[in-house]
Structure 1
Amino acid sequence: MPDNNLGSRVRELRAWRGLDLRVAADLAGLSYGYLGKLERGDMPINSRQTLEAIAWALRVAPDEITGVTPEPAGHASPELHDAANSLADLLSGWWVGEVPDTPGRPLPEVLAELRAFHASRNLNGPRGAGDYPTQVAKLIPLIRDLLVAAADPATGREALTPLLTGYHVAGSISARLRLPGMPSMAAERMQQVADKLGDPVWQSVASWGRAHFISSTSRSRQYELAVSVADSAPPDRPETRGMANLTAALAAAAQGQADVAHTHLTEAAGIAERIEPDTSPWPAGIMQFGRTNAGIFRVSIGVELGEGARIAEVASKVRPETISSGRQASFWADYGRALMSERKHRGQGLPALLKAEVLAPHQLYRDPFVRAVVSSQLTTAGQDTFGRELRGLAWRMGLAPIG
């Protein structure tokens, strides 16, 4: 296309998005004046980097601007690759009781920062914890400092529980990004901390972590471990029993055992009703058990059992805004792909996937089920709003757009 037509197309797409020139320029990382010149045709769009920056800001595929299908963007960013390697080095390189080769900061300072980190993961927008590479970059030095404190007789006991929560976050991020082996490694570290604490409450938390993070190829073993925790966890912390039932329900659903899954869901829902907040703050940064998470699991299990768009009634009762952005993203991703599985509802499903993308893009991009449903829709996507949105999402996920 001639350069001036490219600029006109950018202006049309920006107007369709309802963005003014300055906002669009900021989103693309360009100056206000430069984008204006591009739109007017005073300057050409002559680099892939500029084209893709504008496409990303407008949330469309580059071919919506050029009419030419480009090479797809990779869904594994360098930042994510670096974060995964750093996290693997930390989990494999240092056991509880060993002292990393870095000086530790004062424990009160570390604990205050960790509390702020846990709180920020429940916030959206600029005050939130950021994307997963950003979270990993914040988490690694915190775990290192806590390892140093845990090995010091003066601070060891006080550092152990926060260290366990840090390891759980590492496992949770690894699981959501589907990093092989790392969730189980994080669970092992949780168990090492719990053994040092010698407290039945934290032993149960670590045992649940093991069940929760077990490989998806071992669903029968996951179910067995989760049920054991649900039956034996100390009753004074019902969150552990509740989450163990949710994990057992998901494991049963993954094996096609609908009745068993619903039995555990019912048990978890009953426990959740005895907890005052929709999302329990205990333990910090770990379970997020309560009515909200029980509802999110109910949606996930409904999708697993093939309920499709019928899950909408359950989803309408969930208040995802009361839980962390990662869990919110899981909710919208599962809900979206359930709706996308039925042609007449796919127009409602795509906005749900786009919500998940805003909340946790790396998590959505690496979800194999979302990738499959987006790929399957590309062949029939037209030139309407749905098709344009879908191709944009496919491009950002690293899937070759079609049409």
Structure 2
Amino acid sequence: MVHLFAEGRPRVAPGGTRRGQLREKGALMDAEIGSRVRELRLWRGLNMRTAADLSGISHGYLGQIERGEKPVNNRQVLEALANAFRVAPSELTRKPDITATSSESHDAAAVLADLLGGWWVGEVPAAPGRPLPEVLADLAAFHASRNKSGKHGAGNYPTQVAKLAPLIRDLLAAAADPATSRQALAPLLTAYHVAGSVAARLRAPGLPSMAAERMQQVANELDDPVWQSVAGWGRAHFISSSNRLRQYELAAAVADTAPPERMETRGMANLTAALAAAAQGQNDVAETHLREATAIAEQIEPDVSPWPSGIMQFGRTNAGIFRVSIGVELGEGPRIAELASAVHPETISSGRQASFWTDLGRGLLESRQHRDEGVAAILKAEKLAPQQVHDNWFVRQAVGAHLGQTRQDSTGRELRGLAWRMGLATTG
């Protein structure tokens, strides 16, 4: 059960004109994306009215965004604008990487690009050729660490890549050996999925889709409908914001056709389809898939299924987390606290817990009366997965929008400290 409370040591901010400076910082963030929206609109040769019609938002709202008077704080608006200008959403949110591990993240993305692009299934990279049982034991330990339900998981993304890359090389070698191929292929598919997930977190264009291609290659070698469906879901999952319509089509197809003996795939495909529908403003469709996923989750004994190792985490907990996330996308605001009250996030990995607290915090921040609870939720997410939270565009928007509204109390100090750690304020 969820309990909201503020955690962490307050960072005391200097007085004077600080609040005004923070208000200006939040306004600057809005102005930056507003300027980018206007730049892309003019580049496409669109007037304000046409751009508003194409994006499905009002002419007045678009004007407020361009003038920096309103933030872009949900997927639906961000992706609608990107679609109107025929660019990737990242073109609207691009910013210098200000994380403390920016050079390490760049190096990690380069390792993944070399690994995913350099070898196909059946090809053998230079690998030490370790015994397969040893490799599988190390992969199982990696998955367990990454999916650990505490804050001490597999580490940040560069650390995960450093652990994962040699495992994929070893599994490729084993998959090319007729004596070990059948044992190595399914674990290799799960390792490729993790590679795609980390690449997406590192904002490495093209690499998640390349990981999905490798998953499909493995599934083809296995020639098993169960793993074919897992690969199909992985493809839909990694399309994400680049094409929500196609993501929905692919996920819905898997939800309809995945073999019933592994209901986890059908469940996750329904959750992916629900998020894709919500991002397009299709509330009823999203709700239909959420209900289907929830019903499937009730048929699975654990709150979080251990199958397949390390990549889905389907069950009642994840279905509840998706419901909260989609509630935020659909603008349900503080009502998501009711949805969150039935979720037991402590039963799932630290990364998924962080996603839960992040989205809950964003939703609560929409209401002045729930600001303290919203800040507390985001701080919980930060403790669990700091890099994941600091790099989240929507969290950055939410924190920036509230900087100028903070009071000189403990919550205000916590929010300013968070802003400082995210690079949104010059001091904590």
TM-score interval, normalised by the smaller of the two chains: 0.7 to 0.9
Change (3 A) 1:153 1:283: same
Q: Does 1:323 align with 2:274?
A: no
Q: Does 1:131 align with 2:82?
A: no
Q: 2:420 touches 2:427 (CA, 8 Å); kept in 1?
A: no
1:28 equivalent in structure 2: none
The residue correspondences of 1:179-190 to structure 2 (distance < 5 A) are: 179-190=204-215
2:115 equivalent in structure 1: 90
| Alignment match of 1:112 (pick from 137, 157, 165) | 137
Instruction: Could you tell me which runs of 5 or more consecutive residues in structure 1 were left unpaired when the two chains were aligned.
Output: 1-16, 19-56
Q: Does 1:367 align with 2:411?
A: no
Q: Does 1:60 align with 2:85?
A: no
Change (3 A) 1:320 1:160: same
| CA offset digits 1:169-193 (Å, max 9, x no partner) | 1112223343322211111110111
Relative to the length of structure 1, the TM-score reads 0.81
| Alignment match of 1:75 (pick from 83, 92, 99) | 99
Change (3 A) 1:125 1:294: closer
| Alignment match of 2:203 (pick from 155, 178, 185) | 178
Instruction: Could you tell me which runs of 5 or more consecutive residues in structure 2 were left unpaired when the two chains were aligned.
Output: 1-5, 26-95
Deviation at 1:207, TM superposition (A): 0.3
Q: 1:61 touches 1:396 (CA, 8 Å); kept in 2?
A: no
| Alignment match of 2:292 (pick from 251, 257, 267) | 267
Q: 2:365 touches 2:374 (CA, 8 Å); kept in 1?
A: yes
Cα RMSD after superposing both structures = 2.5
Q: 1:73 touches 1:398 (CA, 8 Å); kept in 2?
A: no
Q: Does 1:227 align with 2:287?
A: no
User: How many Å separate the matches in 2 of 1:238 and 1:208?
Assistant: 12
The percent of aligned pairs where both chains have the same amino acid is: 72
Relative to the length of structure 2, the TM-score reads 0.76
Change (3 A) 1:118 1:62: farther
Letter in 1 for 2:376: P
Letter in 1 for 2:11: V
Change (3 A) 1:61 1:366: farther
Deviation at 1:120, TM superposition (A): 1.4
Letter in 2 for 1:74: I
Q: Secondary structure at the match of 1:350?
A: helix
2:357 equivalent in structure 1: 332
Q: 2:151 touches 2:383 (CA, 8 Å); kept in 1?
A: no
Change (3 A) 1:330 1:194: same
User: How many Å separate the matches in 2 of 1:257 and 1:285?
Assistant: 30
| Alignment match of 1:144 (pick from 132, 150, 169) | 169
Deviation at 1:340, TM superposition (A): 1.0
User: How many Å separate the matches in 1 of 2:97 and 2:134?
Assistant: 40
Q: Which has the larger radius of gyration?
A: 1
Deviation at 1:396, TM superposition (A): 1.1
Letter in 1 for 2:335: R
Q: 1:73 touches 1:399 (CA, 8 Å); kept in 2?
A: no
| Alignment match of 1:237 (pick from 258, 262, 280) | 262
